[in-house]
Homo-oligomer: A and B are copies of this chain.
Amino acid sequence: MALVVDAMGGDDAPRSPVRGALQAAADVPGPIELVGLPTAIEPLLQGAASGERIRVVAATEQIGMDEHPVEAVRKKRDASLVVAARRVKELGAEGALVSAGSTGAVLAASLLHIGRIPGVERPAIAIVLPLFTGPVVLLDGGANVDCRPSHLVQFGVLGRVFARVVLGIPEARVGLLNIGEEETKGNELTIAVHPLMRRHVPGFVGNVEGKDVFAGACDVVVCDGFVGNVLLKSIEGFAAALLGEIKRAAAASVKGKLGGWLLKGALSSLRARLDYRSYGGAFLIGVRGVVVVAHGRSDEVAMANAVRLAHRGVRGDLVASIGEAIQRLPEEVSSHAGS
């Protein structure tokens, strides 16, 4: 087993990936491989305590956040991300990839070099939302913007396995994101997929509306990647605007300032719970390896958590469990729901 970290991905690379890997090595067993420029990585490892379980794998190139993902992955065959993905392919079910590079590039490298689990039509990005009621997995977070019904059925199956293996939720409730609770509500896609999910997705609880999601109505939320991505970015933008406004409102009067100061502890523990770092990133699931896409802004705490999550995926045999669950889906789901 090995956890393979793209040491050159992310805004603060190689510092945060390397430091994060070191931090995680303190409590995660098994070797960690850091892929990237040895001359940039090695100085950061000097004198580190868990250094002996860390190995550096050389890669001379790197992919920038602004490059076209597919082109960059195809052209730069010695990019840290590409080398890391090939390494995970070698390792098979025993390997995991962690990168804070661009989501598009991680997606492209994983599809091209690691490949899909047999039977999985479309790997999906699973995002763990750290809600107040507990963690909720949303998928697809943006890998597949135009979906067929069979894709969404598979997302439900993938998400449920993920929730069990990575989040420790034994019997996850799976909801279909929709605009009404009744089976007949929705757009063409959700109306077509509802009966299929009812028949083929264990733990399916029916349609959920946006407001139900935040009230803890289910553990896994299924939607197409366009809707999922719009939703995630909107919530992010709204939260930032609202917290900023609370700050401004508090600063507008002496009374407010004092109140804000007294509330600081409560608000910052709240912010910490909403922090992307506590979950470490998104997963690309449905590929033949555990793939964690950390936020580009990840610091070493976030990177360490991403490595821990990756380890949980390998230890829980995420890839094999998904393979089995997908094999249990009848052929007809894909063929009937094809159009």
Contacts and interface: CB of A to CB of B under 8 A. Distances in A.
B267 A246 contact: yes
B230 A210 contact: yes
Interface in A244-270: 244-246, 249-250, 252-253, 255-256, 258-267, 269-270
A245 B270 CA distance: 8
B226 A179 contact: yes
Interface stretch (A15-23, A212-220, A289-297, A312-320): A212-220
Given A145-B187, A187-B145, A132 B241 contact: yes
A188 interface: yes
Interface string A149-189: 00000000000000000000000000001110000001110
Contacts of A249: 263, 266-267, 269-270
Interface residues of A, number: 60
A67 to B, nearest CB: 13
A250 B266 contact: yes
A236 interface: yes
Nearest to A179: B229
Given A179-B145, A249-B267, A270-B245, A211 B226 contact: no
B245 A256 contact: no
A252 B266 CA distance: 8
